[in-house]
Amino acid sequence: MSTYKVGSTVGFRAWRLWFQKRPDLSFWLLFGLLNCLLFLPGLLTSEGGAGFGAALADAPAQLLYILAVWRPGPDVARLHLEWLLLMAAWVALPWLRRGAVRLLFFAGYLAALVYAIYEAALRALFQMEPVFYSQYRMLTEGLAFVVDNASFPLYYYILAAVGSLLALALLWAAIYCVTSQPISQHISPFSQALLGLLVCFGLGQALIYQHHLARPEMVVSSLVYKVRANAQASRDIYETVRSFDDRYVRRAYDYRGQKLVTTPNVYLIFVESYGSVLYKRPDWLRAYSALADELETALDEGGWYAASGLSSAPTWGGGSWISYTSALFGLTIDSDPEYEMLMERYQVDDFPDLGGFLRGQGYRYYGLSSMALELPDAQWSRYLNFYGADRWLRYRDLDYSGPKYGWGPSPPDQFSLHRARAAMRGETDQPYLLFTITQNSHYPWAPLPPRLADWQALNVAGENPPPIDAEGIPHEVRRQNYLNAVEYELRVLVDFILSEEAPNALFVLVGDHQPPRVSRKEDGWDTPIHIISRNQTLVNGLTQYGFEAGLDVTNLSPVLGHAGIHSLVARLLLENYGDRRLALPAYLPQGMPFVGVLATQPEEGEPTP
């Protein structure tokens, strides 16, 4: 036997004997570590928040409540009810101590850990509550898309597989040890009594607070209540989707008889990750306000006028398709199942969306998607049928052969926008609506393309810049990358507007959602919206809708929701360019809601002390 094997065997035996000679210490150490591990994902994915000290400073008279019931900030000093009950049963009931039951314990613990990771990821990345019915497609199709198109080397997958197996082995070893006969069956009467007191405390919390135990702020957490809340929210969204009837939406957006005399080109451009968090951090606010003032001056010198406000997005940190579909359809879409139902239902029938209204006024409706990784043809056909655009420009239509950047990856937005406009002008004499969403401001916000005086000079063959390790960089670097991406995008968009030749063109620029990883739940769901035109009367009239002159805002209350953009754009066009024989259509600042059971479950509030 080699020296290594002898040393390993001796070391393992010494380690096992140490634990066996100290059953009380070993039991509580392993029990506590495994309990804390179930709360570690929430702590690791948190971007901050009120910790124990801050919570106590805010309410020093509620020390017991903060210690034993509810704490807003994430930490691991909490108690998982099901893990506690499993271990108490193992200690108290000798007939349970079987190998098959130990395997069930391991499976149950692993399920609780996987759920904790799933819950923490959703809250950190998208500020979403765990609702499996709502997130199933995101977790399956979205993950499959990332895996299929990821360019990770083979050894990444090998390391991930080996690491996962090692983690499972360590987890099994810890559970095997804590449930082994020398430890769990030989703890002292004092430890048994302490375990019994913890069981009484946990069951008391469950009896008093019940469904609140599904909330991450509770000191005692329950997987059963979490799954129950998930199932209830899933059922409610299912009922919402099943009960949808579009007749009330068609009545709201019935523009029959309305006629535009002048038909200006309309650009509806969603700016990826452009969030109101820019107003919530002092350093960002200074830099963003200076940039907005500079760009506003450039627009003014070019004969353009701007009005701005904040709009409430229906999604947070991701799910751009939900945001821009809500705007185009004038319907607040709160969940992926609602979106999927609409996608399936309106493959043949037309939805009364903004594009349909403008097509009825003689417009040609264009879409632009510049990502190099395109959807399969079958999926793309469904996408086209759903949105009803006359022509959708994709990467293959841009004739681009230069370096690609970031998410997708994609050409520089400067090139894609100018190339799309050149293609539209070459194809039609009709007025047009162009809808698109920018790509270069997508997470991870680096590397960024150059911005050149001649956009065509970007189309020069070259190597794609290497992607950055978005999670392996300091948070301050990530924050600066985000600010750089916003600045790049706004400068590109203002340059694009200044080069517009059509005299009456209308630009609507709006953020799709708050940026992930650099904003928090407390920052809200609002995004900037800018409406820009050479028509000063049109822009000045936006004050009646709560907008402020210029590119910057002082009022941080939203003036509309994304679903309100449909009726706002239609009304602005008819008010300023219509024949006015009929009364203007109603302005619906929040658009139309889904009718039926509320699709978004309100969060449970803090339990009463």
CA distance 17 to 20: 5
Domain boundary among 186, 209, 238: 238
| Confidence category of residue 365, pLDDT binned at 50, 70, 90 | very high
| Confidence category of residue 600, pLDDT binned at 50, 70, 90 | very low
CA distance 35 to 198: 13
Q: Is the bond into 466 cis (omega within 30 degrees of 0)?
A: no
Are residues 199 and 271 both part of a single domain? no
If one compares 49 and 216, the residue with the highest pLDDT of the two is 216
C-alpha 4: how far from chain center: 50
**Domain-embedded: residue 596:** no
**Domain-embedded: residue 153:** yes
Tell me what pLDDT residue 408 has.
85
**Domain-embedded: residue 496:** yes
| Confidence category of residue 608, pLDDT binned at 50, 70, 90 | low
**Domain-embedded: residue 532:** yes
What is the residue-wise DSSP string for 4-57?
A: HHHHHHHHHHHHHHHHHH-HHHHHHHHHHHHHHHTTHHHHHT------HHHHHH
pLDDT tens, position by position, 61-102: 577 888 889 888 889 999 999 999 999 999 999 888 888 999
Residue 146 has pLDDT above 60, yes or no: no
Tell me what pLDDT residue 45 has.
83
User: Domain holding 401: CATH number?
Assistant: 3.40.720.10
Domain range for 117 is 16-238
| Confidence category of residue 467, pLDDT binned at 50, 70, 90 | confident
Are residues 534 and 420 both part of a single domain? yes
C-alpha 78: how far from chain center: 27
Q: Please give the average per-residue pLDDT across 492-514, as a whole number.
A: 97
Residue 353 has pLDDT above 60, yes or no: yes
pLDDT tens, position by position, 160-172: 889 999 999 999 9
If one compares 18 and 331, the residue with the highest pLDDT of the two is 331
**Domain-embedded: residue 599:** no
Q: Please give the average per-residue pLDDT across 593-607, as a whole number.
A: 54
Tell me what pLDDT residue 56 has.
57
**Domain-embedded: residue 144:** yes
Tell me what pLDDT residue 182 has.
79
Q: How many CB atoms lie within 10 A of CB 360?
A: 14
Q: State how far the alpha carbon of 584 is from the alpha carbons of 44, 449, 541, 577, 580, in Å.
A: 52, 43, 14, 12, 7
Most confident residue range from 4-8, 121-125, 184-188, 496-500: 496-500
Tell me what pLDDT residue 469 has.
77
pLDDT tens, position by position, 285-331: 999 999 999 999 999 999 999 999 999 999 998 889 999 999 999 99
Number of H helices and number of E strands within the chain?
Answer: 23, 11
Residue 487 has pLDDT above 90, yes or no: yes
Are residues 322 and 425 both part of a single domain? yes
Q: Please give the average per-residue pLDDT across 257-273, as a whole number.
A: 97
Are residues 188 and 85 both part of a single domain? yes
Residues 6+ apart with CB under 8 A from 84: 35, 198, 199, 202
Are residues 216 and 343 both part of a single domain? no
Are residues 175 and 27 both part of a single domain? yes
Pairing outcome for strands 305-312 and 526-533: antiparallel
**Domain-embedded: residue 244:** no
Pairing outcome for strands 432-437 and 266-271: parallel
Residue 270 is classified by DSSP as E
Residues 6+ apart with CB under 8 A from 307: 530, 531, 539, 540, 542, 543, 547, 548, 549, 550
Are residues 196 and 302 both part of a single domain? no
| Confidence category of residue 609, pLDDT binned at 50, 70, 90 | low
Are residues 107 and 145 both part of a single domain? yes
Residue 526 has pLDDT above 50, yes or no: yes
Are residues 212 and 276 both part of a single domain? no
Where is average pLDDT lowest: 77-81, 139-143, 271-275, 404-408?
139-143
Tell me what pLDDT residue 250 has.
95
**Domain-embedded: residue 512:** yes
- Name the β-bridge partners of 129: none
Q: Please give the average per-residue pLDDT across 499-507, as a whole number.
A: 96
Are residues 399 and 508 both part of a single domain? yes
Q: Is the bond into 447 cis (omega within 30 degrees of 0)?
A: yes
Are residues 265 and 232 both part of a single domain? no
Q: Please give the average per-residue pLDDT across 563-578, as a whole number.
A: 97
Residue 522 is classified by DSSP as G
Are residues 195 and 290 both part of a single domain? no
The number of distinct structural domains making up the chain is: 2
